[in-house]
């Protein structure tokens, strides 16, 4: 062990010598600047570095050098970054994950992020920065909530990452960032291989490389590649087998979802623009009853959606997975055009969501599908009657839904008996009454009782409420987002998340993204509120 420590002492000393000379030449103070000598720095690292000693031998140390953090220097795999350190990499783009390691959402995302990094190694890099110790770095990139994910391309901040937050979803989303926007298909075998995929496929067939429709198709593929799979061909014979003898776009639904209730291929023959193609894909890609996953649920839930949850597995048991789906589709086909869409999902993938959002117990449904409806307005309903194989119970449930006879399911804490504090406590049952009051401007904070950032904000938020307490037209409120349903329109991915619901625009809440200081809150409210603020005991220097 002694020789091991001496080995790493020597290696670290050499690396830090290079690092410090580089940092000094760039007029950047070295980390741990309060430690005077280089040897003391190393001793400090060895003393504090149980993690350092555990991890360092596994790193390909010779491939990296430590350098000051610039926008074009990003790590090649998930590591926590000191604001003055980063691992140098030559790959072109990565998603950067800004967590707070005391944040529940961050802890939930961390293992998924690590799994995705392992699968993407060699093609896409993932990295993370701990914002609790690197506040300056996170502030530079406008991070105000946790976790925040951003994509960097060629060393520059490119765009926020808005994809799914599971290992599979991150992997698929980032994998689509590599390779061509649209695959070039030359033969029928190429087409067959491309469409034989777990996901739907969009294939454009054109008369030649100079076709203006092809150029427009490729533009659309560039814009939509993160969501859908695209391919193109200049061989018109590929379309003839599918009933088309001229330029067109073929939408192939996933082969595993083939059924007797709808076509597996839909043809787009209209005038091709980016907008028209986008609408065509949106209206046809999912079909009558798609397979909802963690990755595509947000796209499906933009409409009122009924979902049947059961033990489906399209990787190992396609016929068994389609057994209940066919029974759902038989009933669903009677309600086409009524404003309700249908889907199926693997119950195991959504177990926690079903328990928290719909109060599903471990005994609910058993092997039978568990049926829910979630509307785009956030209203939720569950079918408590057992699902029957003939679909009769599902049909009765739907008749009650369309007739308005179903009672909504709401997860909510009890409405507080007393609510006389400056900061008003809101629960799901009272959200409409307080936040959506048409005569009040409301600042609402969504918090978690376990979140240290929320606790740190409490005195400032309380002072803000006291400052505006005499203003009859404004309300400062907060809601426990873990114990209450968060209404649609409020995107709460981390804590605290703060929104402003102004008078006259309750359906367009404004997210607060400034610093969490009293003056900044007041400046924001003065800009967004529909009236002149009435301040108590605060010198108006805004």
Per the model's pLDDT, the better-predicted residue between 179 and 124 turns out to be 124
The residues facing 399 across adjacent strands are none
- Band (33; pLDDT cuts 50, 70, 90): very low
Cβ neighbours of residue 318 closer than 8 Å, sequence gap 6 or more: 256
CA distance 86 to 73: 7
Tokens representing 87 are 């691992």
Cβ neighbours of residue 177 closer than 8 Å, sequence gap 6 or more: 93, 124, 151, 225, 226
Q: Looking at domain 424-528, does it have CATH number 3.30.70.360?
A: no
Residue-wise DSSP of 19-77: HHHHHHHTT-PPTTTTS-SHHHHHHHHHHH-HHHHHHGGGS-GGG--EE---TT---SS
CA distance 172 to 164: 9
pLDDT tens digits for range 14-30:
444 444 433 333 333 34
Q: Tokens 């802890």 sit at which residue?
A: 107
Residue-wise DSSP of 71-135: TT---SS--B--TT-EE----SEEEEEE--TT-HHHHHHHHHHHHHHHHHTTT---EE--TTT-H
For the question of residue 131 being annotated catalytic, the response is no
Tokens representing 456 are 């740190």
Angular region, 378: left φ>0, alpha ψ -120 to 50, beta rest: left
Are 180-285 and 424-528 the same fold in CATH?
A: yes
Full-prediction pTM beyond 0.75? no
CA distance 306 to 341: 6
For the question of residue 103 being annotated catalytic, the response is yes
pLDDT tens digits for range 471-525:
999 999 999 999 998 988 899 988 999 999 999 999 999 999 999 999 999 999 9
- What Rg, from alpha-carbon coordinates, does the chain have? 28
The predicted pLDDT at position 467 comes to 95
Tokens representing 370 are 């568990």
CATH topology of domain 291-403: Glutaredoxin (3.40.30)
pLDDT tens digits for range 84-141:
222 222 233 455 666 655 677 788 888 888 888 888 887 788 888 888 888 888 888 8
- Band (538; pLDDT cuts 50, 70, 90): low
- Band (539; pLDDT cuts 50, 70, 90): low
CA 37 to chain CA centroid, nearest Å: 45
Give the phi and the psi of residue 343 in degrees, each rounded to 5.
-160, 165
- Band (160; pLDDT cuts 50, 70, 90): confident
Q: Is 487 helix (H, G, I), strand (E, B) or coil?
A: coil
Cβ neighbours of residue 189 closer than 8 Å, sequence gap 6 or more: none
The predicted pLDDT at position 128 comes to 84
Cα–Cα distances (Å) from 321 to 233, 285, 383, in that order, read: 33, 20, 20
- Domain limits of the chain? 79-175, 180-285, 291-403, 424-528
Residue 219 parent element (H or E): helix 212-224
The predicted pLDDT at position 65 comes to 28
Inform me whether the pLDDT recorded for 51 exceeds 50: no
- Band (193; pLDDT cuts 50, 70, 90): very high
Complete edge-to-edge strand list for the sheet that includes strand 93-98 = 127-128, 93-98, 148-153, 156-160
The predicted pLDDT at position 68 comes to 30
- Band (246; pLDDT cuts 50, 70, 90): very high
Read off the DSSP letter of residue 414: P
The predicted pLDDT at position 540 comes to 52
pLDDT tens digits for range 423-441:
999 999 999 999 999 999 9
For the question of residue 138 being annotated catalytic, the response is no
The active-site residue, picked from 138, 248, 289, 451, is 451
Tokens representing 355 are 């328990």
Give the phi and the psi of residue 151 in degrees, each rounded to 5.
-105, 130
Tokens representing 378 are 């956030």
Cβ neighbours of residue 104 closer than 8 Å, sequence gap 6 or more: 448, 450, 451, 495
The active-site residue, picked from 19, 106, 131, 138, is 106
Q: Tokens 């949850």 sit at which residue?
A: 309
Are the CB atoms for 140 and 170 separated by under 8 Å? no
pLDDT tens digits for range 248-307:
999 999 999 999 999 999 999 999 999 999 999 999 999 999 999 988 898 899 999 999
Cβ neighbours of residue 298 closer than 8 Å, sequence gap 6 or more: 164
CATH topology of domain 79-175: Glutaredoxin (3.40.30)
Lowest mean pLDDT among 52-61, 321-330, 393-402, 465-474: 52-61
Cα–Cα distances (Å) from 349 to 211, 275, 289, 300, 346, in that order, read: 44, 33, 18, 16, 5
The predicted pLDDT at position 236 comes to 94
Q: Is 476 helix (H, G, I), strand (E, B) or coil?
A: strand
How much of the chain, in percent, has pLDDT values that exceed 90?
A: 55
The predicted pLDDT at position 36 comes to 35
Read off the DSSP letter of residue 166: S
pLDDT tens digits for range 55-66:
333 333 222 222
- Band (150; pLDDT cuts 50, 70, 90): confident
The active-site residue, picked from 19, 131, 248, 454, is 454
Angular region, 504: left φ>0, alpha ψ -120 to 50, beta rest: left
CATH topology of domain 180-285: Glutaredoxin (3.40.30)
Lowest mean pLDDT among 69-73, 180-184, 325-329, 459-463: 69-73
For 346, other C-beta atoms within 10 Å of its C-beta total 18
Over residues 149-153, mean pLDDT:
82
């Amino acid at each position: 062990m002694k020789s091991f420590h001496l080995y790493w002492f020597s290696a670290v000393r050499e690396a830090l010598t290079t690092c410090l000379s580089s940092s000094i030449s760039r007029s950047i103070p070295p980390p741990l600047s309060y430690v005077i000598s280089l040897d003391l720095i190393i001793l400090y690292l060895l003393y504090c570095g149980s993690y350092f000693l555990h991890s360092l031998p596994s790193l390909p140390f010779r491939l990296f050098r430590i350098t000051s953090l610039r926008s074009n220097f990003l790590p090649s795999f998930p590591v926590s970054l000191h604001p003055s350190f980063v691992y140098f990499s030559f790959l072109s783009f990565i998603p950067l994950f800004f967590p707070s390691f005391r944040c529940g959402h961050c802890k939930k995302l961390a293992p998924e992020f690590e799994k995705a990094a392992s699968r993407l190694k060699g093609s896409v890099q993932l990295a993370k920065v701990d914002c609790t110790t690197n506040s300056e770095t996170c502030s530079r990139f406008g991070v105000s909530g946790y976790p925040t994910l951003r994509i960097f391309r060629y060393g520059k901040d490119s765009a926020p990452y808005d994809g799914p937050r599971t290992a599979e979803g991150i992997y698929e989303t980032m994998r689509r960032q590599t390779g061509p926007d649209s695959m070039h298909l030359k033969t029928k075998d190429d087409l067959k291989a491309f469409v034989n995929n777990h996901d739907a496929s969009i294939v454009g067939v054109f008369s030649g490389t100079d076709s203006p429709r092809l150029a427009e198709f490729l533009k659309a593929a560039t814009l939509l590649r993160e969501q859908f799979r695209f391919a193109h061909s200049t061989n018109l014979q590929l379309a003839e087998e599918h009933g088309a003898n001229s330029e067109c776009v073929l939408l192939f639904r996933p082969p595993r979802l083939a059924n007797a209730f709808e076509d597996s291929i839909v043809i787009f023959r209209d005038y091709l623009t980016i907008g028209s193609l986008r609408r065509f894909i949106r209206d046809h890609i999912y079909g009558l009853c798609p397979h909802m996953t963690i990755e595509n649920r947000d796209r499906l839930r933009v409409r009122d959606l009924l979902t049947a949850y059961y033990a489906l597995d399209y990787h190992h048991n396609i016929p068994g997975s389609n057994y209940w789906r066919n029974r759902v589709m038989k009933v669903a086909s009677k309600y086409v055009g009524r404003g309700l869409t249908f889907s199926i999902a693997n119950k195991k993938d959504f177990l926690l969501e079903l328990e928290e959002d719909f109060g599903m117990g471990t005994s609910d449904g058993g092997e039978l599908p568990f049926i829910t409806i979630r509307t785009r307005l956030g209203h939720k309903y569950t079918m408590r009657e057992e699902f029957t194989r003939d679909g009769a119970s599902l049909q009765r449930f739907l008749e009650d839904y369309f007739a308005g006879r179903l009672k909504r399911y709401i997860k909510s804490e009890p409405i507080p008996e007393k609510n006389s504090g400056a900061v008003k406590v809101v629960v799901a049952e009272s959200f409409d009454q307080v936040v959506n009051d048409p005569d009040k401007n409301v600042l609402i904070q969504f918090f978690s009782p376990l979140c240290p950032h929320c606790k740190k904000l409490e005195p400032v938020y309380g002072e803000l409420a006291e400052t505006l307490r005499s203003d009859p037209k404004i309300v400062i409120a907060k809601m426990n987002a873990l114990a209450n349903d968060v209404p649609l329109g409020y995107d709460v991915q981390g804590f605290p998340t703060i929104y402003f619901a102004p008078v006259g625009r309750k359906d367009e809440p404004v997210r607060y993204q400034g610093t969490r200081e009293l003056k900044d809150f007041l400046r924001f409210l003065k800009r967004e509120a529909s009236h002149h603020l009435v301040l108590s005991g605060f010198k108006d220097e805004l």
